[in-house]
Structure 1
Amino acid sequence: MRTATILASMLLIGAAAAPALAQDDTGLAGHYQVRLRGLGVLPESGGSKVFISGANIGGTTDLSNSAVPEIDGTYFVSDHFAVEAIAATTKHSASHSVAGPLGSVWLLPPTVTVQYHLQPTDPLFRPYVGVGLNYTIFYNAKSPLPGISYDDNAGFALQAGADIPVGRDGYFLNVDVKKIFLGTTLHAASGVVKGDVNIDPLIVGAGVGIRF
C-alpha cells in the first residue's frame, strides 16, 4: 500500500506539471526507445485464502521472488507522452502456511503503460511516470496437488522511472519501478481445493537502452 501511494503521488506530480510543459517542442513525436533490463519481481501476497470443500483453512499463501531479463519498447506519440510495452516471463514457487508447498507456476505478464516524460531531452536525467494495464497468463503449473491451475487475470499498473543519457548516440541507462495490482484464483483436486491468491507484485528494473 505504501509503495502504491508513493507511485500514485508521482503520477499526480507529473499530471500537475503537464500544462507547463505541454508547449515544449522536443521533436520526439514518432521516435522509439528499446531497453534491455534485469527485473526483480517481488510479490506482495498477503491476504490470500485457501478453501478445502468450501471451508477456509486459514493461513496465508505466498509466492517467491523472481529475477528475470526483460525487453521493452517505447513509442513517443507526442513530445512528452509515450506508450511502453514490456515482454518477460517469470517463475514462482507457491506455498501455504498451513497446507505447505503448492508447487510452482510460470507467469507471462504483458503490460502496456501510457507514460508522461517530464524532461525527455534533458542531457543528464529524464524522469517519467506512467499508468497502464496488465494481463497475466499463468502456465506450466506444477504441484503435489492434482490438476492444479491458476486463472488468467487483468490488473492495473503504476510506474515511475528515469532514463540517464550516456554519450551522444542515443544510449542511456534506465531504472524503473512498477506496481501491478493483480490477483488470481487457484483450482486443484477437481475443485475440492480453491484459493484466492493476491500477488500485487512490485517490479524493480535496471538496464540499458537506445533512442532512435
Structure 2
Amino acid sequence: MRSHITTAALALAAMLATPALARTGEDAGQLQIKLLGSAVLPDGKIDQVNLDLVGLPSTIRTKANDNVVPTIAVEYFLTPALSVETICCVTQHDVDATAGVPGAELVSDAKLIPATLTLKYHLNAGGISPYVGAGPALFLFIDEKPGAAAVALGADRTTLSNELGLALQAGIDVPINDSWLAVSLDAKRYFIATTARWYAGSTKVIETEHTLDPWVLSAGLALRF
C-alpha cells in the first residue's frame, strides 16, 4: 500500500510540475499582479526621549501592535531575471507601553502607508522562482491620534514623522498551472524609525524616537500577464 501511495504522489508531482517546466521566464509576460494577505509585525520601541514635560517614568518601554491586512503587489519584469515591484496597503497600529506604565495606550489608530519599491533578482528553477530584493521604503503616517493614556496627561494631538528607510526582501513564486497562476510567499524586513510628538494645544509636551523595523510576511496568489 505504501508503494502505491508513493507512486501516486510522484505521479501527481510530475503532473503539477510539467506545465511549469513547459514555460520559462523567456516566454512569460512582463507584468505580474499579486493579491496577498500580509502580517505586519513592527517593533515600536523607544530609542530616545528628546522632550518630556509630563514626567514619563524613566523605565518606560513601548511596543506597536501587529496587524494583518490585504496587500496588492505590482511587479514589472525588466528581464526574465530582474524585476521591480511596488506594494499597496494601509495598516493600522497602536503604540502601548510595556514597562513603566504597562498597558498605557500612547498612540491610537495610526494608519501607515509603507510605500515600497524593490529591485528583485529571480532564480528561475524550472518554473519555480525564488527571489531576493532590496530597495527604498517611505513610511507615510496618517490620522494618528493620542492614546487614552496620553489624553489623560493632557495631550490632544499626536504626530508620527514620515521617514525614508530600506527594505530587504526574499520569497518564492510556485506555478500551479500553465496560465501563469502561482502561489507566492514573501518576506520583507524594513529598517526605519519615526519621531513621535505629543501636543497640548500648541505646546509640544513629549518627543520620542522609535525604532519600527517591521517584518512584513505575505502569502497569496500571483498572476502574470
TM-score for the superposition, normalised by structure 2: 0.77
Residue 107 of structure 2 aligns with an amino acid whose one-letter code is G
* 1:39–1:206 Cα contact (<8 Å) kept: yes
Quick check: 1:116 aligned with 2:117? no
Report the Cα offset of residue 29 of structure 1. Answer: 8.0
* 1:49–1:61 Cα contact (<8 Å) kept: no
Quick check: 1:137 aligned with 2:136? no
Report the Cα offset of residue 102 of structure 1. Answer: 0.8
Quick check: 1:210 aligned with 2:214? no
Cα distance in 1 for residues equivalent to 2:74 and 2:189: 18
- Over alpha carbons, which structure has the higher Rg? 2
* Aligned equivalent of 1:103, options 88, 103, 107: 107
Task: Report what 1:75 is aligned to.
Answer: 76
Cα distance in 2 for residues equivalent to 1:117 and 1:44: 29
Deviations 1:64-112 (A, max 9, x none): 0010000011001112010000000100011123352113211011100
Residue 194 of structure 1 aligns with an amino acid whose one-letter code is E
* 1:158–1:180 Cα contact (<8 Å) kept: yes
Query: Given the superposition, is the C-alpha separation of residues 146 and 117 from structure 1 closer, same or farther in structure 2, using an over 3 Å criterion?
Result: same
RMSD: 2.1
Query: Given the superposition, is the C-alpha separation of residues 207 and 191 from structure 1 closer, same or farther in structure 2, using an over 3 Å criterion?
Result: same
Report the Cα offset of residue 206 of structure 1. Answer: 0.1
Tell which deviates more after alignment, 88-97 or 27-36: 27-36
User: What percentage of residue pairs aligned between the two structures are identical?
Assistant: 30
* Gap regions ≥5 residues in structure 2: 1-23
TM-score for the superposition, normalised by structure 1: 0.81
Residue 42 of structure 1 aligns with an amino acid whose one-letter code is L
Task: Report what 2:34 is aligned to.
Answer: 35
Cα distance in 1 for residues equivalent to 2:75 and 2:92: 25
* 2:32–2:74 Cα contact (<8 Å) kept: yes
Residue 101 of structure 1 aligns with an amino acid whose one-letter code is E
Quick check: 1:153 aligned with 2:158? no
Cα distance in 2 for residues equivalent to 1:115 and 1:43: 23
Residue 95 of structure 1 aligns with an amino acid whose one-letter code is D
* 1:49–1:59 Cα contact (<8 Å) kept: no
Deviations 1:16-60 (A, max 9, x none): xxxxxxxxx942687110000000000123453344139873422
* 1:187–1:194 Cα contact (<8 Å) kept: yes
Query: Given the superposition, is the C-alpha separation of residues 169 and 26 from structure 1 closer, same or farther in structure 2, using an over 3 Å criterion?
Result: closer
* 1:158–1:178 Cα contact (<8 Å) kept: yes
Report the Cα offset of residue 151 of structure 1. Answer: 0.6
5 Å-filtered alignment, 1:186-197, equals 186-189=196-199, 190-197=203-210
Residue 80 of structure 1 aligns with an amino acid whose one-letter code is A
Cα distance in 1 for residues equivalent to 2:48 and 2:91: 22
Match of 1:168, SS state, is coil
Query: Given the superposition, is the C-alpha separation of residues 28 and 136 from structure 1 closer, same or farther in structure 2, using an over 3 Å criterion?
Result: farther
Cα distance in 2 for residues equivalent to 1:54 and 1:185: 18
